[in-house]
Chains A and B, each alone.
Chain A
Amino acid sequence: MNKTIILAKSHFRKNKGTTIGLLCLMLIAVMLLSASLLLIFDAYPLATREAQRLDSGSGRVRIYNNLTDIDEEFIDELLADDCVRYDVQDCLCYNAIPVPFGNGKATVSLVVDDGSAFQKEMGRTEVVTEDTGITSDYIYLPYQFYTSGGYDIGDTYSFDLLDRTYDLTVRGFTTTPYYGCNNVGGFEVVVDDGTYAELTDIDGEEYACLCVVYELKDGVKNSRFEIGINDKVIARNPRALVSPMSIEFTNEQRTFMSKIIAVSFLVVTLVIFLVVFLMLTNCITNYIKENMKTLGALKAIGYTSSNIRSSLLVLFGSCALLGALIGIVLSYAIMPYIASFAIAQMGIPYEVSFNAFTSVISLAAIVLFTCIVTSIAVIKVKRIEPIVALREGTESHNFRKNRFALNKSALNLDFSLAMKTMCFNMKQNVITFFVIGIIMFLCTIALLMYYNFNKKPKLEILTFEICSGVVAVNPDTSDDLEAYLESRDDVSNIHQIIDTWFTYNGEDSLKVYICDDTGKLKNQDICYEGRLPFYDNEIAISGRFASDYGYEIGNEIPMTYGDDTYTYLITGLIQTTNEAGRQAVMSFDGAGHLMDFEFVPGYYWFDCDDAETTAAVIDDCSEKFGDHIVSTMNFNEILEGSMTTFKGLAAMMLVFICIISAALILLVLYLLIKAFIFAKRKDYGIYKAIGYTSNSLILQTALSFMPSIIVSVALFSVASYFLANPYMNVIMMSFGIVKSNFVIPVPGLAAIALGVVVISFLFAMFEARKIKNIEAYNMLLAE
């Protein structure tokens, strides 16, 4: 053992730079692995942990719109058979209300409670932070308003309810299992008793709501229970609306972003592991080649192959161990920053704490990985014969073609010599090619995310349809609104879409978008296979739902609404992140088989040229139709609010991947060029002796790496352009997106490609400056 350590120390002394370079690579890999594992195993389950802590039960049902005949006795009757326990809370509920959030507005269901919300037995709402000095006209907002909504305690929160404006002081932030996140589609706020009383006086009848948090008995399926509740409530009061939400669904929606971050981190980590693998193998092979004489001498004086192999294993294993320990410490240091983006969407307070499991996995992964790679790479030590090694090994001369002959080459001397060097260093070229290629792919993904989530947000993946605005009116004025909109020259593409819930076989439910003309939908990408329904017997269902229940295009599927069931022909498969991908589309005629539109408000979607025109149209409609307006929505206004967290994530990913890419290029070129200069030191001495300057040799060396970098950048740019969407499809599949069609801006990709080439060249020049230290005379003496 002692011999092994002495040898390992000797190897380290001879290869300090390389060992430290590898240590840095391992450190980065472990840091990312540990951070992504913390995201997956600690931050990501945060929503579930918090839900359990707040006693969320199995789900929550909101009953609203009209609560006639919905009393406590009925609720008891409704839940007695299937639930172990439940808790009912009176509140106010405003559906599809645009509320200020982030840099814009988020359209959500706004549940307004009074102080009694803090006394709930189930699905508790707890204060995270507050200023009790604020005693009147205050509001408690969900914690997400603090993490990504841009609000702090003491700020004034101004929001409109119908045609009234409220200015309330933020007294604190709360955590709640159900309506604490804009991705869930709802915010639960708590206001002071005075404000609540005022709201109750004005809206008490129309917007009263019962929130029932329940815990199901073992064996009761939530989706069946939700359908049963819906049917029973509607049977009791057809004008009541029911909105069920299981805790699983809530958490799934709430962790959408952290899942993307965690998966992205994991992919980046795996890619870096691949780079570590390539570099480790290359370094060990180079080490053996460069130290052949020493290894031969060691063998000659009695060291066995296994002594030498063990020493290399100890050296690189220790390097991995040290890199892992530092990497794990650093992962905890960067975790608050990374987690801040993940929890920004969840809106749950999170403190990073030590997680033994993720640390041990990270440490074991790099140490085992290094030991395995080292064990395989050092096998050739056994084959080294001392006498052959002492003669510098059996270096087989490569009698390849004399490429870039100086008398025939069209390039100038420096370029020609650089190309010659390149041709004789194919191993380095191959490594550079793949490493740069991997980096290009990562950068393309970062660019895709930045462009589609930040620069030009691809709303299609977040919503069913995109347009400039929506105006909804009572059924009796629906035709008038349509006529009015049609009469305006500044409004185009007017179409009607309403949504409701249908059930399937009493087992599951689907949110069905009912359109008057599916051809007018701007988001035609929603149907990724087949076509959108046209005739009254047709339906398009989500791919995820189809896959869960074994349906294909051309099959017939029964849909139930209330007591009626009708069988539709599936014409297409749609994709959406909403409702966990459980959605469907059909025409008004199709839905007419099951439902009566007499009491359904008319929702008119339309387009305008700009945000100002949209606002003007909405204002004019509000003025013209007054009390008949059910709701309005200005997409331009809610865009910023809805995209706040997505934008932050995308920018963070771009910055993060750019930094990691630059670090990888720097480290990889450092290791490759260092080994290359060492191996070619004799040639550099000769060149210097015959009159080449250091700058000329530095340029040649840097240029020799460029062809593989340029070819890699070119090929992988094209490959990434075509592979980025399929890759995103794999990541997005669990959110219900099958065919994402994200835009990859070619100028942006070209800029990244150029950036990678320029950065690589500059780094290569920087690393190759060590050639200055080579003196011809010293080289001659050394020989």
Chain B
Amino acid sequence: MKNIIETRKLCKTFSNGGVQQHVLKNLDLQIREGDFTVIMGPSGAGKSTLLYALSGMDKPTLGQVVFSGKDITKMSSDKLAVFRRTHCGFVFQQTYLVDSMSVMDNVLSAGLLISKNKAEVTKKAEQILKSVDISEDKWGKFPTQISGGEAQRVGIARALINKPELVFADEPTGALNSKTGKDVLDALTKFNRDGQSIVMVTHDITSARRGNRILYVRDGEIAGELDLGAYVSGDKDRHQKLRDFLGGMGW
């Protein structure tokens, strides 16, 4: 499988009151096409920083992020925005839907950035909303009128509307209960099976089980990596394997 992203000597340093904190240290990493990559690690390890550096949401201090053959660290903010709309999808812990727009409009607001064909984008949005189990009666509702799980699935639909090369998910179930969290993970798993590459940051082992590749970040470096293989529902060995890996990493 080819790499979608490759980082070279990636560093990220935050300065706070003269004190420098090196969050990412010379990190070399490849994200492969079609993988459901899960990034785990203790709090403050640099998971989210890595995710946002990979996606071009944040600029690294040093090093390169080569996304589909282009070094995105050299791009301006506006070029990065255009790059994100074309190549990336985002699912956040807080759903970050725009409250003043309906469910359908939230999805279309991303879709119409790429295509001007309203009818075609609308049809695509309808299909994708159906595929994440958002019924038609919810399409005209506002984000505050639907449940948290539904809102997160709308977020997934928005992330996928442009068929991005890679979806970045930052703790997508972090603000959900187990039932609605499972629905969201099911949706992500389904899309990954259809060939969608996903990078997800999580603290949750249940969520992490969905990935086929687990990266463990500690002190700004990749401390370990586990190949779990494709997700199969009810695979207890998979869970144990992950537990053992995490235990070995000091989780």
Contacts and interface: CB of A to CB of B under 8 A. Distances in A.
Question: Are A and B subunits of one complex?
Answer: yes
Contacts of B142: 397, 399, 402
Nearest to A685: B96
Contacts of A688: 81
A680 to B, nearest CB: 9
Contacts of A417: 109
Nearest to A688: B81
B237 interface: no
A120 interface: no
B238 to A, nearest CB: 31
A550 B87 CA distance: 85
A686 B110 CA distance: 10
Interface in A676-694: 682-683, 685-694
A777 B113 contact: no
Interface string A761-774: 00000000000100
Contacts of B96: 682, 685-686, 689, 780
A355 interface: no
B135 to A, nearest CB: 17
Given A402-B102, A413-B113, A693 B84 contact: no
A692 B105 contact: no
Contact of B105 (A397, A405, A689): A405
B157 interface: no
B112 A691 contact: no
Given A691-B82, A772-B77, A780-B92, A424 B100 contact: yes
A775 interface: yes
Interface in B63-103: 77-78, 81-86, 88, 90, 92, 94, 96-102
B52 interface: yes
Interface in A332-361: none
Interface string A8-50: 0000000000000000000000000000000000000000000
A686 B98 contact: yes
Contact of B102 (A405, A412, A424, A693): A405
Contact of A777 (B52, B82, B121, B122): B52
Contacts of B140: 402, 405
B57 A776 contact: yes
A407 interface: yes
B101 A691 contact: no
Interface in A684-727: 685-695
Contacts of B88: 691
A274 B113 CA distance: 42
A685 B98 CA distance: 10
A: contact size bracket: 20 to 34
A691 B86 contact: yes
Given A690-B90, A693-B81, A407 B57 contact: no
B118 interface: yes
B124 to A, nearest CB: 11
A91 to B, nearest CB: 80
A691 B102 contact: no
A754 interface: no
A407 B98 contact: no
B57 A689 contact: yes
Contact of B85 (A402, A690, A772, A783): A690
Given A407-B122, A421-B100, A690-B90, A775 B110 contact: no
B81 A691 contact: yes
B112 A775 contact: no
B213 interface: no
Contacts, number: 96
A407 B58 contact: no
A524 B109 CA distance: 64
A689 to B, nearest CB: 5
A186 to B, nearest CB: 69
A406 B158 contact: no
A687 B92 contact: no
B174 to A, nearest CB: 12
A282 to B, nearest CB: 19
B113 A420 contact: no
Contacts of B77: 693-694, 772, 775
B179 to A, nearest CB: 24
Residue picked from A402, A412, A420, most chain B C-beta under 10 Å: A402
Nearest to B104: A407
A776 B94 CA distance: 14
A685 B58 CA distance: 12
Contacts of A412: 116
B101 A693 contact: no
B99 A397 contact: yes
B127 interface: no
B108 interface: yes
B110 A407 contact: no
A685 B118 CA distance: 24
A692 B100 contact: no
Nearest to A783: B94
Contacts of A407: 104-105, 108, 118, 121-122, 125
Interface in A401-444: 402, 405-407, 412-413, 417, 420-421, 424
B144 interface: yes
B145 interface: yes
Nearest to B123: A407
Given A689-B96, A691-B113, A402 B105 contact: yes
Residue picked from B85, B86, B118, B121, most chain A C-beta under 10 Å: B118
A690 B57 contact: no
Given A402-B142, A406-B112, A777-B58, A692 B81 contact: yes
Contacts of B98: 683, 686-687
A776 B77 CA distance: 10
B100 A413 contact: no
A688 B105 CA distance: 16
Interface string B133-153: 000000010101100000000
A435 B20 CA distance: 49
B99 A405 contact: no
A777 B81 contact: no
Nearest to B103: A402
Contacts of A402: 101-102, 105, 140, 142
Contact of B104 (A405, A420, A776): A405
Nearest to A691: B85
Contacts of B118: 406-407
Interface in A377-403: 397, 399, 402
Contacts of B99: 397, 683
Contacts of B109: 406, 413, 417, 687, 690
A689 B84 contact: yes
Nearest to A413: B112
Contact of B81 (A405, A682, A694): A694
A397 B99 CA distance: 9
Contacts of A776: 57
Interface in B2-60: 52, 57-58
Contacts of B84: 689-691
A402 B106 CA distance: 11
Contacts of B100: 420-421, 424, 683
Contacts of B105: 402, 405-407, 420
Nearest to A684: B98
Nearest to B121: A407
A219 B42 CA distance: 101
A689 B90 contact: yes
Nearest to A683: B98
A682 B105 CA distance: 17
27 contacts: A399-B142, A402-B101, A406-B109, A407-B118, A407-B125, A413-B112, A683-B99, A686-B98, A687-B109, A689-B84, A689-B92, A690-B109, A691-B84, A691-B85, A691-B86, A691-B113, A692-B81, A693-B77, A693-B82, A694-B77, A694-B78, A694-B81, A772-B77, A775-B58, A777-B57, A777-B58, A780-B92
Given A683-B98, A692-B113, 12 more contacts: A406-B104, A407-B118, A407-B122, A417-B109, A420-B100, A685-B96, A686-B97, A687-B109, A690-B109, A693-B78, A777-B52, A783-B94
